[in-house]
Amino acid sequence: MEKFRFLTSGESHGKCLTAIIEGLPAGVIIDTDFINSELKRRQQGYGRGDRMKIESDTVEITSGVRFGKSLGSPVCLVIKNKDFENWQKIMSVAPEDYTDEKSFSVFRPGHADYPGAVKYGQKDLRNILERSSARKTAIEVAVGAVAQLFLKQLGITGSSEVTQIGSACCPEKFHEEIDMNKEKGDTVGGKFIVIYKNVPVGLGSHVHWDRGIDGRLAQAIMSIPAVKVVEIGTNPLGLCGSEYHDEFDIIDDKVCRKTNHAGGIEGGMTNGEDVIISGVMKPIPTMLKPLDSVDINTKQKAQAHYERSDVCAVESCAVVAQARTACILANEILLKYGADNMEELTQRFS
């Protein structure tokens, strides 16, 4: 039984994105400005498409919070899609509004179009694009910001940054790499890192395969759209045991480590060091220079569908990964320390 759970809903060009969080204890200080600042971070980043110029995401909290503190009841978050104004007819719920404007039928290689259309029996690939779009990660960032507020009250803080774009590993070269691909009508991926500090020892467990926090974090990061690689700590490939394993030390009567290659996790449990996770995002699949594809209706060869899209979204992806990590840590803390309110939790935690 998980303790911190949430569901989200919403299409990319639909009216709004919604989330319901269940399991947040009473007494979490809900700082809406912080949630909005995380939403802003997700929207920024060099290489994002024109959609982000239309949207200026802000959260509306419609339940579960009173006078700035959580009540212990479900918390409902809503983000309006400003672009919905331009899509009202196209995304209408009413059958009489049917239109094939913005319908498309040529699969984008690397996107959810083909398997989604087969699985859900759709001929209009718009019906798959609307939910497979990473627009839904906006509401996930809002949920993750709530989880981060909960963690902050326990002294646990997170951060994230981009470490590679395409073949460029130094930040001065990132924009160049994005511009170069943009000019060619191409897209580019990259690598990001998420770090959480002051995480207590013993979140997760070694006793069953599905309780390891490394596995849970890997699932949370791997399922971000376009993420294809997750690493915990230092990639051990090519390192020998004496180079990779973190030797123990004792300073001021406290057990500590000389290094942190394990990324703060051993045996499926946090070990008290910083939790460090990296992810690799593949290049964006919607490309101005389209790839060879097939039309689902005519069964003829065709060039892949293109519509307004990002050239690179690794910076945003890092923010999403920071949010998802917060949700996993919040859940594990509630599993370990269990509590219905923050006073109770803080006592157990300390």
Q: Which positions ≥6 away from 120 have C-beta within 8 Å?
A: 127, 128
Q: Is 285 in the site for ligand FMN (CB under 6 A)?
A: yes
- Of 111, 126, 216, 324, the one binding ligand FMN by CB under 6 A: 111
Q: How far apart are CA 120 and CA 131, in angstroms?
A: 12
Our CB check for ligand FMN shows the closer of 77 and 112 to be: 112
Beta carbon of residue 194, minimum distance to ligand FMN (angstroms, whole number):
13
- Of 139, 317, 323, 326, the one binding ligand FMN by CB under 6 A: 317
Beta carbon of residue 230, minimum distance to ligand FMN (angstroms, whole number):
12
Beta strand 301-303 pairing with 292-294: antiparallel
Our CB check for ligand FMN shows the closer of 3 and 108 to be: 108
Task: Bin 141: left if φ > 0, else alpha if -120 < ψ < 50, else beta.
Answer: alpha
Q: Which range, of 81-89, 219-227, 243-251, 270-278, touches ligand FMN by CB under 6 A?
A: 219-227
Beta carbon of residue 135, minimum distance to ligand FMN (angstroms, whole number):
8
Q: Is 139 in the site for ligand FMN (CB under 6 A)?
A: no
Beta carbon of residue 93, minimum distance to ligand FMN (angstroms, whole number):
23
Beta carbon of residue 134, minimum distance to ligand FMN (angstroms, whole number):
3
Our CB check for ligand FMN shows the closer of 3 and 111 to be: 111
- Of 160, 286, 293, 325, the one binding ligand FMN by CB under 6 A: 286
Q: What stretch of H or E contains 278?
A: strand 275-281
Q: What stretch of H or E contains 222?
A: helix 213-222
Beta carbon of residue 320, minimum distance to ligand FMN (angstroms, whole number):
6
Q: Is 49 in the site for ligand FMN (CB under 6 A)?
A: yes
Q: Is 320 in the site for ligand FMN (CB under 6 A)?
A: yes
Q: How far apart are CA 187 and CA 111, in angstroms?
A: 13
Q: How far apart are CA 96 and CA 123, in angstroms?
A: 19
Q: How far apart are CA 128 and CA 117, in angstroms?
A: 7
CB under 8 Å, gap of 24 or more: what pairs does 112-120 form?
113/305, 117/296
- Of 78, 134, 141, 193, the one binding ligand FMN by CB under 6 A: 134
Beta carbon of residue 321, minimum distance to ligand FMN (angstroms, whole number):
9
Please return the burial class of 160, using the count of CB atoms within 10 Å of its CB with bins 0-12, 13-18 and 19+.
buried
- Of 65, 188, 195, 224, the one binding ligand FMN by CB under 6 A: 224
Q: How far is CA 308 from CA 39, 48, 133, 284, in A?
A: 20, 10, 12, 12
Q: What is the CA radius of gyration of the chain?
A: 22
- Of 18, 137, 160, 331, the one binding ligand FMN by CB under 6 A: 137
Q: How far apart are CA 109 and CA 304, in angstroms?
A: 7
Beta carbon of residue 212, minimum distance to ligand FMN (angstroms, whole number):
23
Q: How far apart are CA 71 and CA 243, in angstroms?
A: 48
- Of 147, 151, 313, 345, the one binding ligand FMN by CB under 6 A: 313
Beta carbon of residue 46, minimum distance to ligand FMN (angstroms, whole number):
13
Q: Which range, of 15-23, 197-205, 221-229, 324-332, touches ligand FMN by CB under 6 A?
A: 221-229
Q: How far apart are CA 293 and CA 273, in angstroms?
A: 47
Nearest of 225, 20, 45 to residue 143 by alpha carbon: 20
- Of 78, 226, 330, 342, the one binding ligand FMN by CB under 6 A: 226
Our CB check for ligand FMN shows the closer of 313 and 339 to be: 313
- Sites of contact with ligand FMN (CB under 6 A): 49, 110-112, 132-134, 137, 224-226, 282, 284-286, 309-310, 313, 316-317, 320
